[in-house]
Structure 1
Amino acid sequence: MNKTKQIIIYGVIGFFLILIWMTCNTRIDAGNEGILVKLYGTDKGVQEVSLVTGRVWFNPFTEEVHEFPIYVQTIDYHEFTVNAKDGSVFTVDPTLSFKVREGKSPEIFRKYRKGIQEITQTTLFNYIRDAFRIEFNKYTTDSIISNREHFETAVQQNMEHVLTKEGFQLEQMTSGIKYPDAITQSVDAKNRAVQEAMQVENELKVAQARAKKLIVQAEAEARANDLRKQSLNSLLIQQQFIEKWDGKTPIYGNAPAFFKAVD
């Protein structure tokens, strides 16, 4: 065998070794759990699922490796409608924050046979719709509005129970509930009426305060006039006249007489 053939053979062998290296191992990134699934066997992979970490070697013909993130994920689902107990239609636009509980990835895959993205968009979304449907069927429109906090707490507790049982951990959930148009218009009209009533009440208080001020001023003025009238006796009038007279005899009329003539 000449050197040229040896180089070709070694090259082919090297190529296949590189190909095997690239296709027969993978690395599980931090924040993820890996599960090794055997595609063949007595249970056809249903039971042959094991938890793996770090770099994993596997046979690509008979095995698969799936990664499940165990960090918190936030999903903003598309809105849907739900009927209340009295038939009113509410719109729900939920947002869910959750994570896979550590060590639960094999159980989740064994049950659903799907990746986390598909489970999130299908299974978890169905759980959310059911949780809201169950709680809405317990409330009338008025009771939902007056007990909004209690209603949302009940939905969240329902979701927390379901997710925990399925191997997930609920971090936070918001409902994004939108009331029917008729309810929204009614609430807006009520708020406007309350605001207008408060405005009228404030204006009335201002008017009453101004009226009281005018009454006090008038009473004070009347009191002052009474006091002035009481103080204007004949002697005081003569004294004021003397203080203001310039000593000249008037051209017309009689000069003022301060003393009576004595015979």
Structure 2
Amino acid sequence: MNKKIIAGVTAIVLVAVALLFFNERIDAGHEGLRVKMYGSEKGVQDVSLVTGRVWYNPLTEMVFEVPTYVQTMNYEAFTVNAKDGSVFTVDPTLSMKIKDGESAKIFKKYRKPIDEVLKNTLVNHIKDVYRIEFNKYTTDSIISRREMFEDGVQKKMIAFLNNEGFILEQLTSGIQYPETITQAINAKNTAIQRAQQAENELKVVEANAKKLIVQAEAESKANELKKQSLTNLLIQQQFIEKWDGKTPLYGQSPAFFKSVDK
């Protein structure tokens, strides 16, 4: 009898000692989520939102570490239709974090680890946000009012994630236009660039022409002034200033000046 008692006590002690080794250290930047696996409130009954070491009963409980820091999720690209039927490609990247104290709420709703919720569960909801917003705009209005469109997407995404227990830090839509639209935009940009180049070349030609005109007018005026200044008296004066003292011979007899017919 004593042996049975001793064996029973020993077993209890061994189980108690074993249970002491079942603990989980909750690192900084995480919330500790202790889950009751049995009982009337199976799923989440007790939650430890602490850093440090959490003790638990492995027979009836599980402990999860839930990251509360910002995580960036680069989702796979998907297509969505605008109001007029054009097909756009969206390649979204979202940076978000769990709101403090909301990990238990998220676990109760989805019964999945947080990383699985972020990678898979939220995808369809994120697609729905884009579909709703795209259906409000035609292709032209999306292009011409891109900032307004993006602002609408972001507001809806913030509201959706907030309701799910997350905080959106940053959103990049990565929108790609339909190929026909891209070609049209490229053609338009090419035409604008060529028109600008032609305009610049015309300005250069006009500038060179004006320069030639100014030079020609300046030369014409200079020649006119020279012509007006060359009077008979001025010519005679210049002759006297340069005369070497010898009487030049014009015709059959010497003379100082040669008659100039007007």
Give the structure-1-normalised TM-score.
0.85
Instruction: Tell me, in whole angstroms, the C-alpha distance in 2 between the residues paired with 1:162 and 1:221.
Output: 79
Q: Give, in whole Å, the separation in 2 of the partners of 1:18 and 1:201.
A: 88
Alignment of 1:231-242 (within 5 A): 231-242=229-240
Match of 1:87 among 85, 88, 93: 85
Map of 2:101 onto structure 1: 103
Residue identity opposite 2:179 in structure 1: D
1:48 maps to which of 45, 49, 52: 45
Please report how far the alpha carbon of residue 239 of structure 1 lies from its aligned counterpart in structure 2 after TM superposition.
2.3
Query: Aligned partner of 1:117: which letter?
Result: D
CA offset digits 1:189-212 (Å, max 9, x no partner): 111111111111111111111111
Using structure 2 for the length normalisation, give the TM-score.
Answer: 0.86
Pick from 158, 161, 164 the counterpart of residue 163 of structure 1: 161
Contact 2:96–2:170 (Cα < 8 Å) also in 1 = yes
1:39 equivalent to 2:24? Answer no
* 8 Å contact from structure 1 (residues 249, 255) kept in 2: no
Question: Matched residues, percent identical?
Answer: 62
The equivalent of 2:152 in structure 1 is: 154
Q: Name the count of aligned residue pairs.
A: 248
Superposed CA RMSD:
2.5
In 1, Cα distance between equivalents of 2:139 and 2:255: 97
Work out the CA distance in 2 between the residues paired with 1:255 and 1:104: 128
- Aligned equivalent of 2:118, options 112, 120, 136: 120
Matched, 1:228 2:240: no
In structure 2, relative to structure 1, the CA distance for the partners of 1:258 and 1:60 (3 Å cut) is: same
| Aligned mate of 1:184, from 182, 192, 196 | 182
Q: Residue 125 of structure 1: CA displacement?
A: 1.8
2:215 matches 1:217: yes
1:20-77 deviation per Cα after TM superposition (whole angstroms, max 9, x unaligned)? 443x21111111111111111124x145242342322211121111121111111111
Looking at structure 2, the residues matched to 255 and 156 of structure 1 have their Cα atoms a distance apart, in angstroms, of 110
Taking the TM superposition and a 5 Å limit, the aligned residue runs for 1:252-263 are: 253-254=251-252, 256-258=254-256
Between the aligned partners of 2:44 and 2:70, the Cα distance in structure 1 is: 27
Aligned to 1:6: none
- Unaligned 5+ runs, structure 2: 1-9, 258-262
Question: Residue by residue, what CA displacement relative to the aligned partner does 1:95-143 show, whole Å, maximum 9, x if unpaired?
Answer: 1111111111111100110101110012222221111111111111111
Letter in 2 for 1:137: N
CA distance in 2, matches of 1:139, 1:218: 61
1:74 paired residue number? 72
Q: Any gaps of 5 or more consecutive residues in structure 1?
A: 1-9
